[in-house]
């Protein structure tokens, strides 16, 4: 089981690293806009959740693999190459797609916390209360991002 847990946690580390990079970049690109302040808060929360994942990994004797985190960051950068109808700069479509991707990352993290809560029933090294708190925070993040997605989608329609 330790090998499966090691693989599972390092796989989540890849996604978490990518979502941190996406959150920071999206927040930076939205500074000074109505979404900017909320995205700064979400980016800070996603970064803190990454740190929590690393701490949880260490608590169960799993070494976070730097190459996995690096792969997540590289994957996020490659994701920037998506088509948005413009060659050089972003568009309203870019904002919506990035917000949707952030939300998907948060939902993946949410499921990860839920799965670890199940493991915690049999593994005393995992703090069930902490996992519940992380789960609740991820649900709030997903709700906020849903609202942001709706706001960004409105901008796509006719003026």
Tens of pLDDT along the chain (159 residues)? 689 999 999 999 989 999 999 999 999 999 998 889 999 999 999 999 999 999 999 999 999 877 655 554 555 555 555 544 444 455 667 889 999 999 999 999 999 999 999 999 999 999 999 999 999 999 999 999 999 999 989 877 776
pTM (2 decimals)?
0.84
Sign of the Cα pseudo-torsion (25, 27, 28, 34, in order)? positive
pLDDT of residue 92: 64
CA–CA dist 82, 113 (Å, integer): 29
DSSP the chain: -HHHHHHHHHHHHHHHHHHHHHHHHHHHHTTTSTTHHHHHHHHHHHHHHHHHHHHHHHHTT----HHHHHHHHHHHHHHTT---S-SSS--HHHHHHHHHHHHHHHHHHHHHHHHHHHHHTT-TTS-HHHHHHHHHHHHHHHHHHHHHHHHHHHTTS--
pLDDT of residue 34: 83
Architecture in CATH of 2-154: Up-down Bundle (1.20)
């Amino acid at each position: 089981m330790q090998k499966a847990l090691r693989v599972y946690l390092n796989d989540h580390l890849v996604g978490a690293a990518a979502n941190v990079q996406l959150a920071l970049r999206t927040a930076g690109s939205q500074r000074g806009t109505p979404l900017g302040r909320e995205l700064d808060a979400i980016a800070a929360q996603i970064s803190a959740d990454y740190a929590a994942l690393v701490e949880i990994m260490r608590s169960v004797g799993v070494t976070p693999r730097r190459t996995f985190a690096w792969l997540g960051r590289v994957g996020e950068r490659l994701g920037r190459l998506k088509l948005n109808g413009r060659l050089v700069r972003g568009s309203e479509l870019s904002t919506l797609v990035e917000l949707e991707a952030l939300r998907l990352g948060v939902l993946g993290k949410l499921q990860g916390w839920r799965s670890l809560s199940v493991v915690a029933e049999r593994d005393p090294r995992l703090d069930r209360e902490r996992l519940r708190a992380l789960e609740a925070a991820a649900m709030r993040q997903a709700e906020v991002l849903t609202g942001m997605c709706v706001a960004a989608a409105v901008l796509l329609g006719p003026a």
